[in-house]
Amino acid sequence: MQWQTDLAVSFVKRAQVETYVQKTLLNDALTILQKLHNAHRLDHEKQGWISNRENALLGIADGDVEAEE
């Protein structure tokens, strides 16, 4: 599980720099986190990351290009 959360974090960090693929990277991070959550392998703190990613994606849809950690 650790490598999967590390990968999700890496996608988010890349999204902060590579804004031209930001939506794809955030979607990929969200997919990983949701799969871990559905398998009951995500601790309470990291479950909050799901809503953070969803909010970041909504911000992109509204024209805001920032990805928050």
- Give pLDDT, residue 63: 61
- Give the C-alpha separation, 23 to 14, whole Å: 11
The distance between the two most distant Cα atoms of the chain, rounded to a whole number of Å, is 33
Summarize pLDDT for 33-68 with one digit per residue, the tens. 999 999 999 999 999 999 999 999 998 876 654 444
Average pLDDT over residues 8-19: 95
pTM confidence score: 0.82
Contacts of 25-28 spanning 24+ positions with Cβ under 8 A: 25/67, 26/53, 26/56, 26/57, 26/60, 26/67, 27/57
